[in-house]
Amino acid sequence: MSPSQIEIDTSRRFAELRRGVRGLCARFPGEYWRRLDGEREYPTEFVEAMTDAGFLGALIPEKYGGGGASVAEASVILEEVNRSGGNAGVCHAQMYVMGALVRHGSADQKERWLPALAEGKLRLQAFGVTEPTAGSDTTRIQTRAERDGDAYVITGQKIWTSRAEYSDLMLLLARTTPLEAVKRRTDGLSLFLVDLREADERALTIRPLETMINHHTTEIFFDGLRVPAENRIGEEGMGFRYILDGMNAERILIAAESIGDGGWFIERSVAYANERVVFDRPIGQNQGVQFPIAQAYANLRAADLMRWQAAELFDSGSPCGAEANMAKMLAADAAWEAANVCLQTHGGFGFAREHDVERKFREAKLYQIAPVSNNLVLSYLAQHVLGLPRSY
Ligand SMILES: Cc1cc2nc3c(=O)[nH]c(=O)nc-3n(C[C@H](O)[C@H](O)[C@H](O)COP(=O)(O)OP(=O)(O)OC[C@H]3O[C@@H](n4cnc5c(N)ncnc54)[C@H](O)[C@@H]3O)c2cc1C
Protein backbone atom coordinates (compact mmCIF):
# COMPACT_ATOMS: atom_id res chain seq x y z
CA MET A 1 0.00 0.00 0.00
CA SER A 2 1.40 3.40 -0.88
CA PRO A 3 1.52 5.84 2.02
CA SER A 4 -0.82 8.25 0.26
CA GLN A 5 -3.51 5.56 0.52
CA ILE A 6 -3.41 5.49 4.30
CA GLU A 7 -6.92 6.54 5.22
CA ILE A 8 -7.85 7.63 8.69
CA ASP A 9 -11.58 7.87 7.97
CA THR A 10 -12.23 4.67 6.04
CA SER A 11 -15.93 5.51 5.59
CA ARG A 12 -14.77 7.76 2.72
CA ARG A 13 -17.40 10.34 3.60
CA PHE A 14 -17.13 13.71 1.88
CA ALA A 15 -14.73 12.18 -0.67
CA GLU A 16 -15.38 14.88 -3.26
CA LEU A 17 -14.83 17.69 -0.79
CA ARG A 18 -11.59 16.05 0.34
CA ARG A 19 -10.41 15.80 -3.24
CA GLY A 20 -11.20 19.46 -3.85
CA VAL A 21 -9.25 20.66 -0.82
CA ARG A 22 -6.36 18.29 -1.59
CA GLY A 23 -6.22 19.65 -5.14
CA LEU A 24 -5.97 23.20 -3.86
CA CYS A 25 -3.39 22.31 -1.22
CA ALA A 26 -1.22 20.56 -3.81
CA ARG A 27 -0.50 24.04 -5.19
CA PHE A 28 1.01 24.95 -1.80
CA PRO A 29 3.59 22.25 -1.10
CA GLY A 30 6.06 21.86 1.76
CA GLU A 31 8.51 24.38 0.25
CA TYR A 32 5.83 27.07 0.39
CA TRP A 33 5.09 26.57 4.09
CA ARG A 34 8.77 26.14 4.91
CA ARG A 35 9.68 29.43 3.30
CA LEU A 36 6.90 31.29 5.13
CA ASP A 37 7.91 29.63 8.38
CA GLY A 38 11.50 30.78 7.91
CA GLU A 39 10.50 34.30 6.94
CA ARG A 40 7.63 34.51 9.41
CA GLU A 41 5.27 35.62 6.66
CA TYR A 42 1.53 35.31 6.27
CA PRO A 43 0.33 32.90 3.54
CA THR A 44 -1.69 35.50 1.67
CA GLU A 45 -1.84 33.52 -1.61
CA PHE A 46 -3.04 30.40 0.19
CA VAL A 47 -5.71 32.27 2.17
CA GLU A 48 -6.92 33.97 -1.01
CA ALA A 49 -7.08 30.65 -2.84
CA MET A 50 -9.05 29.10 0.06
CA THR A 51 -11.44 32.05 0.01
CA ASP A 52 -11.88 32.04 -3.78
CA ALA A 53 -12.64 28.31 -3.68
CA GLY A 54 -15.37 29.03 -1.11
CA PHE A 55 -13.70 26.91 1.57
CA LEU A 56 -13.26 29.69 4.12
CA GLY A 57 -16.85 30.81 3.68
CA ALA A 58 -18.13 27.26 4.16
CA LEU A 59 -19.97 28.04 7.40
CA ILE A 60 -21.62 31.22 6.09
CA PRO A 61 -25.26 30.52 5.18
CA GLU A 62 -25.99 30.28 1.45
CA LYS A 63 -28.35 33.26 1.52
CA TYR A 64 -25.32 35.43 2.34
CA GLY A 65 -23.19 33.91 -0.40
CA GLY A 66 -21.49 31.25 1.74
CA GLY A 67 -21.35 27.49 1.47
CA GLY A 68 -24.03 26.68 4.05
CA ALA A 69 -21.91 23.72 5.12
CA SER A 70 -22.23 21.54 8.19
CA VAL A 71 -19.53 21.58 10.86
CA ALA A 72 -18.61 18.06 9.70
CA GLU A 73 -17.90 19.39 6.20
CA ALA A 74 -16.02 22.41 7.52
CA SER A 75 -13.92 20.09 9.67
CA VAL A 76 -12.95 18.06 6.59
CA ILE A 77 -11.66 21.25 4.94
CA LEU A 78 -9.35 22.10 7.83
CA GLU A 79 -8.30 18.47 8.26
CA GLU A 80 -7.22 18.23 4.64
CA VAL A 81 -5.15 21.42 4.88
CA ASN A 82 -3.14 19.96 7.75
CA ARG A 83 -3.06 16.52 6.18
CA SER A 84 -1.43 18.05 3.11
CA GLY A 85 1.42 19.44 5.22
CA GLY A 86 -0.03 22.95 5.46
CA ASN A 87 -1.28 24.76 8.51
CA ALA A 88 -4.98 25.61 8.75
CA GLY A 89 -4.17 27.67 11.85
CA VAL A 90 -3.38 30.57 9.53
CA CYS A 91 -7.04 30.98 8.63
CA HIS A 92 -9.23 28.75 10.82
CA ALA A 93 -10.60 31.59 12.96
CA GLN A 94 -12.87 32.71 10.16
CA MET A 95 -14.62 29.37 10.54
CA TYR A 96 -14.71 29.02 14.25
CA VAL A 97 -15.87 32.50 15.14
CA MET A 98 -18.48 32.56 12.40
CA GLY A 99 -21.11 31.00 14.66
CA ALA A 100 -21.18 34.06 16.93
CA LEU A 101 -22.10 36.33 14.04
CA VAL A 102 -24.42 33.87 12.28
CA ARG A 103 -26.31 32.83 15.43
CA HIS A 104 -26.27 36.02 17.47
CA GLY A 105 -25.70 38.88 15.03
CA SER A 106 -28.62 41.11 13.99
CA ALA A 107 -30.06 40.97 10.47
CA ASP A 108 -28.27 44.28 9.71
CA GLN A 109 -24.93 42.99 10.94
CA LYS A 110 -25.24 39.84 8.87
CA GLU A 111 -26.13 41.83 5.74
CA ARG A 112 -23.23 44.16 6.38
CA TRP A 113 -20.52 41.59 6.93
CA LEU A 114 -21.38 38.07 5.81
CA PRO A 115 -21.56 38.62 2.01
CA ALA A 116 -18.29 40.59 2.10
CA LEU A 117 -16.66 37.80 4.14
CA ALA A 118 -17.95 35.15 1.75
CA GLU A 119 -16.62 37.09 -1.24
CA GLY A 120 -13.26 37.62 0.37
CA LYS A 121 -13.59 41.41 0.46
CA LEU A 122 -13.24 41.25 4.24
CA ARG A 123 -11.30 38.95 6.55
CA LEU A 124 -12.48 37.95 10.02
CA GLN A 125 -9.42 36.17 11.28
CA ALA A 126 -8.84 37.66 14.73
CA PHE A 127 -10.46 36.61 17.98
CA GLY A 128 -9.46 38.52 21.10
CA VAL A 129 -10.30 36.67 24.30
CA THR A 130 -7.10 35.74 26.17
CA GLU A 131 -5.46 38.28 28.49
CA PRO A 132 -2.08 38.13 30.20
CA THR A 133 -3.36 38.00 33.77
CA ALA A 134 -6.61 36.05 33.35
CA GLY A 135 -5.15 33.13 31.32
CA SER A 136 -7.61 30.25 31.09
CA ASP A 137 -9.93 31.97 33.60
CA THR A 138 -11.80 33.95 30.96
CA THR A 139 -14.35 35.46 33.33
CA ARG A 140 -11.51 37.42 34.95
CA ILE A 141 -10.59 39.38 31.85
CA GLN A 142 -10.02 43.04 32.59
CA THR A 143 -10.52 44.70 29.22
CA ARG A 144 -13.46 47.08 29.72
CA ALA A 145 -16.03 48.40 27.28
CA GLU A 146 -17.82 51.46 28.65
CA ARG A 147 -20.86 52.90 26.96
CA ASP A 148 -20.49 56.51 25.82
CA GLY A 149 -23.42 57.71 23.70
CA ASP A 150 -23.58 55.69 20.51
CA ALA A 151 -20.25 53.97 21.09
CA TYR A 152 -18.33 51.81 23.55
CA VAL A 153 -14.90 52.91 24.75
CA ILE A 154 -12.49 49.97 25.04
CA THR A 155 -9.57 49.99 27.46
CA GLY A 156 -7.32 47.06 28.32
CA GLN A 157 -4.99 44.49 26.86
CA LYS A 158 -5.24 41.19 25.00
CA ILE A 159 -2.52 38.67 24.38
CA TRP A 160 -2.14 35.94 21.76
CA THR A 161 -4.59 37.61 19.42
CA SER A 162 -3.51 35.77 16.31
CA ARG A 163 -3.67 37.23 12.79
CA ALA A 164 -4.77 40.71 14.00
CA GLU A 165 -2.34 42.25 11.53
CA TYR A 166 -3.88 40.30 8.67
CA SER A 167 -7.54 40.70 9.51
CA ASP A 168 -10.05 43.45 8.81
CA LEU A 169 -12.35 42.50 11.65
CA MET A 170 -11.74 41.20 15.15
CA LEU A 171 -14.23 39.54 17.44
CA LEU A 172 -13.52 40.96 20.88
CA LEU A 173 -14.69 39.92 24.33
CA ALA A 174 -14.73 42.71 26.92
CA ARG A 175 -16.32 43.43 30.30
CA THR A 176 -19.29 45.77 30.21
CA THR A 177 -20.23 45.25 33.88
CA PRO A 178 -17.50 44.92 36.54
CA LEU A 179 -17.00 41.46 38.02
CA GLU A 180 -17.95 42.75 41.50
CA ALA A 181 -21.34 43.93 40.20
CA VAL A 182 -22.55 40.71 38.53
CA LYS A 183 -24.40 37.76 40.03
CA ARG A 184 -22.57 35.13 38.01
CA ARG A 185 -18.97 35.54 36.87
CA THR A 186 -20.03 34.72 33.35
CA ASP A 187 -22.43 37.69 33.26
CA GLY A 188 -21.40 41.19 32.21
CA LEU A 189 -19.15 40.23 29.31
CA SER A 190 -20.00 41.47 25.83
CA LEU A 191 -18.94 40.63 22.33
CA PHE A 192 -17.96 43.20 19.69
CA LEU A 193 -16.95 43.12 16.07
CA VAL A 194 -14.12 45.63 15.90
CA ASP A 195 -13.34 47.03 12.46
CA LEU A 196 -9.56 47.21 12.60
CA ARG A 197 -9.43 49.30 9.42
CA GLU A 198 -11.33 52.14 11.07
CA ALA A 199 -9.52 51.95 14.41
CA ASP A 200 -7.82 55.14 15.61
CA GLU A 201 -4.18 54.14 15.80
CA ARG A 202 -3.64 56.27 18.91
CA ALA A 203 -6.17 54.06 20.69
CA LEU A 204 -5.11 50.66 19.34
CA THR A 205 -1.59 49.24 19.30
CA ILE A 206 -0.87 45.81 17.85
CA ARG A 207 2.51 44.28 18.66
CA PRO A 208 3.64 41.03 17.03
CA LEU A 209 4.85 38.30 19.38
CA GLU A 210 7.71 36.04 18.38
CA THR A 211 6.77 32.40 18.88
CA MET A 212 8.09 28.94 18.02
CA ILE A 213 5.61 28.63 15.16
CA ASN A 214 4.63 30.96 12.33
CA HIS A 215 1.27 31.92 13.84
CA HIS A 216 1.19 35.70 13.36
CA THR A 217 0.11 36.21 16.92
CA THR A 218 0.09 39.56 18.69
CA GLU A 219 -0.59 41.48 21.84
CA ILE A 220 -3.07 44.30 21.58
CA PHE A 221 -3.37 47.44 23.72
CA PHE A 222 -6.64 49.34 23.80
CA ASP A 223 -6.41 52.89 25.04
CA GLY A 224 -9.88 54.35 24.73
CA LEU A 225 -10.76 52.76 21.37
CA ARG A 226 -14.25 53.84 20.27
CA VAL A 227 -16.33 51.04 18.79
CA PRO A 228 -19.82 51.91 17.48
CA ALA A 229 -22.55 50.40 19.67
CA GLU A 230 -24.06 48.91 16.51
CA ASN A 231 -21.02 46.60 16.38
CA ARG A 232 -22.02 44.84 19.60
CA ILE A 233 -23.09 41.27 18.86
CA GLY A 234 -26.33 40.33 20.59
CA GLU A 235 -27.29 41.63 24.01
CA GLU A 236 -24.98 43.48 26.35
CA GLY A 237 -23.63 41.20 29.07
CA MET A 238 -24.31 37.96 27.20
CA GLY A 239 -20.99 37.65 25.36
CA PHE A 240 -19.63 34.75 27.38
CA ARG A 241 -22.66 32.66 26.54
CA TYR A 242 -22.33 33.46 22.84
CA ILE A 243 -18.71 32.37 22.92
CA LEU A 244 -19.50 29.15 24.80
CA ASP A 245 -22.09 28.45 22.18
CA GLY A 246 -19.46 28.52 19.46
CA MET A 247 -16.90 26.55 21.42
CA ASN A 248 -18.21 23.13 20.56
CA ALA A 249 -17.80 23.92 16.87
CA GLU A 250 -14.34 25.28 17.54
CA ARG A 251 -13.33 22.12 19.44
CA ILE A 252 -14.53 19.89 16.59
CA LEU A 253 -12.71 21.96 13.97
CA ILE A 254 -9.49 21.91 15.98
CA ALA A 255 -9.86 18.15 16.50
CA ALA A 256 -10.06 17.75 12.73
CA GLU A 257 -6.88 19.80 12.24
CA SER A 258 -5.11 17.50 14.68
CA ILE A 259 -6.44 14.45 12.86
CA GLY A 260 -5.03 15.94 9.66
CA ASP A 261 -1.66 16.51 11.35
CA GLY A 262 -1.66 12.96 12.70
CA GLY A 263 -2.42 11.54 9.25
CA TRP A 264 0.46 13.54 7.75
CA PHE A 265 2.89 12.33 10.45
CA ILE A 266 1.88 8.70 10.03
CA GLU A 267 2.10 8.87 6.26
CA ARG A 268 5.56 10.42 6.47
CA SER A 269 6.68 7.92 9.13
CA VAL A 270 5.58 4.95 7.03
CA ALA A 271 7.20 6.31 3.88
CA TYR A 272 10.51 6.96 5.62
CA ALA A 273 10.48 3.68 7.56
CA ASN A 274 10.01 1.79 4.29
CA GLU A 275 12.62 3.70 2.39
CA ARG A 276 15.47 4.23 4.88
CA VAL A 277 17.85 1.28 4.86
CA VAL A 278 20.23 0.78 7.80
CA PHE A 279 21.91 -2.55 8.69
CA ASP A 280 20.89 -3.77 5.25
CA ARG A 281 17.17 -3.56 5.84
CA PRO A 282 14.45 -0.92 5.94
CA ILE A 283 14.25 0.54 9.43
CA GLY A 284 10.49 -0.19 9.34
CA GLN A 285 11.27 -3.90 9.47
CA ASN A 286 12.26 -3.43 13.11
CA GLN A 287 9.39 -3.77 15.55
CA GLY A 288 10.99 -1.03 17.63
CA VAL A 289 10.29 1.30 14.71
CA GLN A 290 7.01 -0.09 13.35
CA PHE A 291 5.12 -0.62 16.62
CA PRO A 292 5.12 3.05 17.69
CA ILE A 293 3.84 4.02 14.24
CA ALA A 294 1.11 1.37 14.39
CA GLN A 295 0.18 2.47 17.92
CA ALA A 296 -0.03 6.13 16.89
CA TYR A 297 -2.20 5.14 13.92
CA ALA A 298 -4.61 3.18 16.16
CA ASN A 299 -4.87 6.08 18.61
CA LEU A 300 -5.48 8.56 15.81
CA ARG A 301 -8.28 6.43 14.35
CA ALA A 302 -9.90 6.15 17.77
CA ALA A 303 -9.72 9.94 18.26
CA ASP A 304 -11.24 10.42 14.82
CA LEU A 305 -14.27 8.35 15.80
CA MET A 306 -14.89 10.78 18.65
CA ARG A 307 -14.51 13.68 16.26
CA TRP A 308 -17.21 12.21 13.98
CA GLN A 309 -19.51 11.50 16.86
CA ALA A 310 -19.13 15.08 18.08
CA ALA A 311 -19.67 16.50 14.58
CA GLU A 312 -22.78 14.41 14.00
CA LEU A 313 -24.28 15.46 17.33
CA PHE A 314 -23.45 19.11 16.65
CA ASP A 315 -24.95 19.06 13.16
CA SER A 316 -28.13 17.42 14.39
CA GLY A 317 -28.53 20.12 17.03
CA SER A 318 -27.94 17.73 19.96
CA PRO A 319 -25.84 18.55 23.03
CA CYS A 320 -22.22 17.66 22.33
CA GLY A 321 -20.10 19.47 24.95
CA ALA A 322 -18.55 16.27 26.28
CA GLU A 323 -17.91 14.77 22.84
CA ALA A 324 -16.53 18.00 21.32
CA ASN A 325 -14.15 18.47 24.25
CA MET A 326 -13.06 14.83 24.21
CA ALA A 327 -12.55 14.95 20.44
CA LYS A 328 -10.30 17.98 20.75
CA MET A 329 -8.26 16.48 23.58
CA LEU A 330 -7.92 12.97 22.12
CA ALA A 331 -7.07 14.28 18.66
CA ALA A 332 -4.49 16.77 19.95
CA ASP A 333 -2.87 14.01 22.03
CA ALA A 334 -2.95 11.53 19.14
CA ALA A 335 -1.40 14.09 16.79
CA TRP A 336 1.30 14.85 19.31
CA GLU A 337 2.06 11.16 19.72
CA ALA A 338 2.26 10.78 15.94
CA ALA A 339 4.51 13.86 15.74
CA ASN A 340 6.91 12.40 18.25
CA VAL A 341 6.93 9.03 16.48
CA CYS A 342 7.53 10.72 13.13
CA LEU A 343 10.50 12.71 14.42
CA GLN A 344 11.92 9.59 16.08
CA THR A 345 11.44 7.53 12.91
CA HIS A 346 13.35 10.12 10.90
CA GLY A 347 16.26 10.02 13.33
CA GLY A 348 18.66 12.90 12.73
CA PHE A 349 16.92 13.78 9.46
CA GLY A 350 13.82 14.69 11.48
CA PHE A 351 15.70 17.79 12.52
CA ALA A 352 16.43 18.83 8.94
CA ARG A 353 14.08 21.60 7.84
CA GLU A 354 13.74 20.15 4.34
CA HIS A 355 11.63 17.22 5.59
CA ASP A 356 9.06 19.55 7.22
CA VAL A 357 8.82 17.16 10.18
CA GLU A 358 10.32 19.59 12.67
CA ARG A 359 7.97 22.37 11.47
CA LYS A 360 4.87 20.21 11.72
CA PHE A 361 6.12 18.90 15.09
CA ARG A 362 6.21 22.47 16.44
CA GLU A 363 2.82 23.30 14.91
CA ALA A 364 1.04 20.16 16.18
CA LYS A 365 2.00 20.87 19.80
CA LEU A 366 -0.17 23.99 19.91
CA TYR A 367 -3.48 22.14 20.09
CA GLN A 368 -2.76 20.51 23.43
CA ILE A 369 -2.61 24.07 24.80
CA ALA A 370 -4.78 26.35 22.66
CA PRO A 371 -7.54 27.31 22.16
CA VAL A 372 -8.15 25.50 25.44
CA SER A 373 -5.60 23.44 27.32
CA ASN A 374 -6.25 19.73 27.71
CA ASN A 375 -6.22 20.11 31.49
CA LEU A 376 -9.22 22.38 31.24
CA VAL A 377 -10.96 19.76 29.10
CA LEU A 378 -10.32 17.18 31.82
CA SER A 379 -11.71 19.59 34.43
CA TYR A 380 -14.80 20.04 32.30
CA LEU A 381 -15.32 16.28 31.99
CA ALA A 382 -14.67 15.69 35.68
CA GLN A 383 -17.10 18.34 36.81
CA HIS A 384 -19.82 18.51 34.18
CA VAL A 385 -19.92 14.94 32.92
CA LEU A 386 -18.80 12.90 35.91
CA GLY A 387 -20.20 15.08 38.70
CA LEU A 388 -16.91 15.50 40.56
CA PRO A 389 -16.34 18.67 42.60
CA ARG A 390 -15.26 21.81 40.77
CA SER A 391 -11.48 21.98 41.05
CA TYR A 392 -10.89 25.65 40.30
C1 LIG B 1 0.26 30.42 19.27
C2 LIG B 1 -0.95 30.78 20.08
C3 LIG B 1 -2.04 31.36 19.45
C4 LIG B 1 -3.14 31.74 20.21
N5 LIG B 1 -4.19 32.41 19.59
C6 LIG B 1 -5.17 32.94 20.34
C7 LIG B 1 -6.17 33.79 19.74
O8 LIG B 1 -6.18 34.02 18.53
N9 LIG B 1 -7.10 34.37 20.57
C10 LIG B 1 -7.11 34.17 21.91
O11 LIG B 1 -7.97 34.73 22.58
N12 LIG B 1 -6.20 33.35 22.50
C13 LIG B 1 -5.24 32.75 21.75
N14 LIG B 1 -4.27 31.95 22.34
C15 LIG B 1 -4.30 31.78 23.80
C16 LIG B 1 -4.68 30.38 24.22
O17 LIG B 1 -6.06 30.19 24.06
C18 LIG B 1 -4.20 30.22 25.68
O19 LIG B 1 -2.78 30.17 25.64
C20 LIG B 1 -4.76 29.00 26.32
O21 LIG B 1 -6.14 29.14 26.50
C22 LIG B 1 -4.11 28.74 27.69
O23 LIG B 1 -4.11 29.91 28.46
P24 LIG B 1 -2.75 30.45 29.11
O25 LIG B 1 -1.70 30.43 28.06
O26 LIG B 1 -3.02 31.75 29.77
O27 LIG B 1 -2.36 29.36 30.16
P28 LIG B 1 -2.70 29.36 31.73
O29 LIG B 1 -4.17 29.54 31.93
O30 LIG B 1 -1.79 30.30 32.41
O31 LIG B 1 -2.30 27.87 32.08
C32 LIG B 1 -0.94 27.44 32.13
C33 LIG B 1 -0.91 25.95 32.38
O34 LIG B 1 -1.56 25.65 33.61
C35 LIG B 1 -2.61 24.73 33.41
N36 LIG B 1 -3.76 25.12 34.25
C37 LIG B 1 -4.27 26.36 34.47
N38 LIG B 1 -5.32 26.28 35.31
C39 LIG B 1 -5.49 24.98 35.61
C40 LIG B 1 -6.43 24.26 36.40
N41 LIG B 1 -7.41 24.88 37.06
N42 LIG B 1 -6.30 22.92 36.49
C43 LIG B 1 -5.31 22.27 35.83
N44 LIG B 1 -4.40 22.88 35.04
C45 LIG B 1 -4.50 24.23 34.95
C46 LIG B 1 -2.98 24.81 31.93
O47 LIG B 1 -3.45 23.57 31.48
C48 LIG B 1 -1.65 25.17 31.29
O49 LIG B 1 -0.96 24.00 30.96
C50 LIG B 1 -3.18 31.51 21.60
C51 LIG B 1 -2.08 30.88 22.22
C52 LIG B 1 -0.98 30.53 21.48
C53 LIG B 1 0.19 29.91 22.19
> Tens digits of per-residue pLDDT, 93-105?
989 899 999 999 9
Q: Of 125, 30, 69, nearest to 360 (Cα)?
A: 30
Share of the chain above pLDDT 70, in %: 99
C-alpha to C-alpha distance for 375 and 379, rounded to whole angstroms: 6
- Tabulate helix, strand, coil % of the chain (nearest 5): 55, 15, 30
Average pLDDT over residues 121-139: 96
* CATH code of the domain occupying 124-237: 2.40.110.10
Position 4 scores a pLDDT of 60
CATH architecture of 241-385: Up-down Bundle (1.20)
For residues 338 and 261, is the Cβ–Cβ distance under 8 A? Answer: yes
pLDDT higher than 60, residue 255: yes
Report the separation in Å between the CA atom of 351 and the middle of ligand 1, taken as the mean of its atom positions.
27
Q: Of 6, 11, 97, nearest to 309 (Cα)?
A: 11
Q: Which residues contact 273 (CB under 8 A, 6 or more apart)?
A: 282, 283, 284, 289, 290, 293, 345
Report the separation in Å between the CA atom of 275 and the middle of ligand 1, taken as the mean of its atom positions.
39
Position 17 scores a pLDDT of 98
Q: Probe ligand 1: pick from 157, 369, 380, 391, max atoms within 8 Å of CB?
A: 369
Position 1 scores a pLDDT of 46
Report the separation in Å between the CA atom of 138 and the middle of ligand 1, taken as the mean of its atom positions.
10
Average pLDDT over residues 258-283: 98
For atom 41 of ligand 1, the residue with the nearest CA is 392
pTM score of the predicted model: 0.97
Position 96 scores a pLDDT of 85
pLDDT higher than 60, residue 2: no
Helical H segments across the chain, by residue range: 15-26, 30-39, 44-52, 71-83, 93-96, 98-104, 107-119, 239-275, 287-315, 321-345, 357-365, 374-380
What residues are paired with 219 via a beta bridge? 159, 207
pLDDT higher than 90, residue 340: yes
Report the separation in Å between the CA atom of 181 and the middle of ligand 1, taken as the mean of its atom positions.
26
Summarised one tens digit per residue, pLDDT across range 26-49 is: 999 999 999 999 999 999 999 999
Summarised one tens digit per residue, pLDDT across range 295-336 is: 999 999 999 999 999 999 999 999 999 999 999 999 999 999
Position 5 scores a pLDDT of 74
Q: Of 335, 252, 302, nearest to 73 (Cα)?
A: 252
The mean of the pLDDT values for the chain is 96
Backbone angles phi, psi at 233, to 5 degrees: -90, 125
Backbone angles phi, psi at 176, to 5 degrees: -105, -20
pLDDT higher than 80, residue 89: yes
Q: Is the CB of 383 under 6 A from ligand 1?
A: no
Q: Is the CB of 366 under 6 A from ligand 1?
A: yes
Distances (CA, A) of 6 to 97, 129, 155, 338: 32, 38, 51, 14
Listed by start position, the domains of the chain span 3-119, 124-237, 241-385
Summarised one tens digit per residue, pLDDT across range 134-179 is: 999 999 999 999 999 999 999 999 999 999 999 999 999 999 999 9
For atom 13 of ligand 1, the residue with the nearest CA is 160
Question: What topology does CATH give the domain 3-119?
Answer: Butyryl-Coa Dehydrogenase, subunit A; domain 1 (1.10.540)
